[in-house]
C-alpha cells in the first residue's frame, strides 16, 4: 500500500507541474497576441508555436519515463519513507522545473541521478542534496565534460581510444586538457578550470595550467577533484 501511495504522490506532483505549464502556455498566448502586431511578429509567434510548449512537454514526459525505469531498477535500494517527506517533494519539484528549463543532456542526466540517488543514499544530508542540486543548476555542459575526465582520467582516456598521448619530456596541464578537448580554445579552458576551482570542485588553480611538468599524460589529472568534487560527481551520476 505504501508503494502505491508513493506512486500517487509522484504522479500528483507531475500533474501539478503540468498544470503550471498550462498557466505558462496561457501567458505565452498573451505574448503571441502582443507580438503579432509587430514587424517580426509572425516569425516570433511561429517560433513560439514550434518550440516552447511542445519541447517542454516532450522533455518532461521523457524524463518522467526514465525516472520510472530507474525506480524499477533500483527498487530494492529506495527509501520509501523519504519519498513521503517534504524534503523529497522539494527536490522533486525543483528537479522537474530545472529539467524543463534545461536543454543540455549532461545536466538533465545529472538531475535524474540526483533525484534517484536522493532516494537511495541515506548518508547524504538534506542540505548537501539541495546544495548539489543548486550547484548542478549553475554548471554548463562544458563543466560536465571536464568533471567526467577528472572522475577517472585513465578510464576516460581508454574509452576515448587513448586520445591523450602526453609527452616524454615536459608537458603542462593546459596541453593535456587541450588534447582532451581539442574543440575548446585555451581561454575557455582557463575559464572552466577557474569556475571549477572557485566552486571548490577542482584542485587545479588557473595559474597552474601553464606550469611545465615532468613528462607524462592523462595521469597528471588523477587528483584533479577535491573531496566535495568527488562526492558531487558521484551524486550526479547513476551507477
pLDDT tens digits along 124-146: 999 999 999 999 999 999 999 99
pLDDT for 31 beyond 80: no
pLDDT in tens, 54-107: 677 778 778 878 887 888 888 889 887 888 788 988 898 898 889 888 888 889
pLDDT in tens, 105-128: 889 999 999 989 998 988 999 999
User: pTM of this prediction?
Assistant: 0.77
Q: Which residues of 86-122 are buried (b: 16+ CB within 10 A; e: fewer)?
A: eebeebbebbbebbbebeeebbbbbbbbbbbbbbbbe
Confidence of residue 8 (pLDDT cuts 50, 70, 90): low
Alpha carbons within 13 angstroms on the beta-carbon side of residue 234 total 11
Which cell numbers hold the place of 113? 541521478
Task: Please check whether residue 205 is in contact with residue 197, taking contact to mean a CB–CB distance below 8 angstroms.
Answer: yes
Please report, to the nearest 10 degrees, the dihedral formed by the alpha carbons of residues 35, 36, 41, 44 taken in order: 70
| pLDDT at residue 138 in the model | 94
| pLDDT at residue 65 in the model | 80
Q: What is the CA radius of gyration of the chain?
A: 22
| pLDDT at residue 20 in the model | 53
- The two counts, helices (H) then strands (E), for the chain are 11, 2
pLDDT in tens, 162-215: 999 888 789 999 999 999 999 999 999 999 999 999 999 999 999 999 999 988
| pLDDT at residue 151 in the model | 96
Query: Which is nearest to 236 in space by CA: 156, 139, 154?
Result: 139
Confidence of residue 5 (pLDDT cuts 50, 70, 90): low
- Would residue 213 be called left, alpha or beta, if left means φ above 0 and alpha means ψ between -120 and 50 degrees? beta
Which cell numbers hold the place of 183? 574543440
Q: Which residues pair with 216 in a beta bridge?
A: 167
Distance between CA atoms of residues 14 and 20, nearest Å: 10
| pLDDT at residue 200 in the model | 97
Mean local confidence (pLDDT), 10-19: 53
Q: By three-state DSSP, how is residue 124 classified? A: coil
Burial (CB count within 10 angstroms: exposed 0-12, middle 13-18, buried 19+), residue 28:
middle
Amino acid at each position: 500500500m505504501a508503494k502505491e501511495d508513493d506512486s500517487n504522490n509522484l504522479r500528483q506532483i507531475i500533474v501539478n507541474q503540468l498544470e503550471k505549464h498550462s498557466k505558462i502556455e496561457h501567458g505565452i498566448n498573451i505574448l503571441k497576441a502582443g507580438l503579432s502586431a509587430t514587424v517580426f511578429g509572425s516569425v516570433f509567434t511561429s517560433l513560439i508555436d514550434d518550440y516552447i510548449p511542445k519541447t517542454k512537454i516532450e522533455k518532461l514526459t521523457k524524463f518522467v519515463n526514465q525516472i520510472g525505469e530507474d525506480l524499477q531498477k533500483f527498487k530494492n535500494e529506495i527509501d520509501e519513507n523519504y519519498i513521503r517527506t517534504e524534503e523529497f517533494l522539494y527536490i522533486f519539484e525543483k528537479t522537474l522545473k530545472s529539467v524543463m528549463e534545461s536543454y543540455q543532456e549532461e545536466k538533465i542526466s545529472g538531475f535524474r541521478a540526483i533525484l534517484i540517488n536522493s532516494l537511495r543514499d541515506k548518508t547524504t544530508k538534506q542540505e548537501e542534496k539541495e546544495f548539489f542540486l543548486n550547484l548542478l543548476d549553475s554548471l554548463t555542459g562544458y563543466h560536465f565534460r571536464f568533471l567526467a575526465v577528472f572522475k577517472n582520467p585513465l578510464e576516460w582516456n581508454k574509452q576515448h581510444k587513448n586520445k591523450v598521448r602526453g609527452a616524454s619530456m615536459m608537458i603542462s596541464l593546459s596541453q593535456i586538457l587541450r588534447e582532451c578537448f581539442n574543440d575548446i580554445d585555451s581561454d575557455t579552458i582557463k575559464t572552466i578550470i577557474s569556475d571549477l576551482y572557485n566552486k571548490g570542485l577542482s584542485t587545479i588553480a588557473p595559474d597552474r595550467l601553464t606550469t611545465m611538468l615532468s613528462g607524462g599524460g592523462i595521469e597528471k589529472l588523477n587528483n584533479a577533484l577535491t573531496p566535495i568534487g568527488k562526492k558531487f560527481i558521484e551524486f550526479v551520476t547513476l551507477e
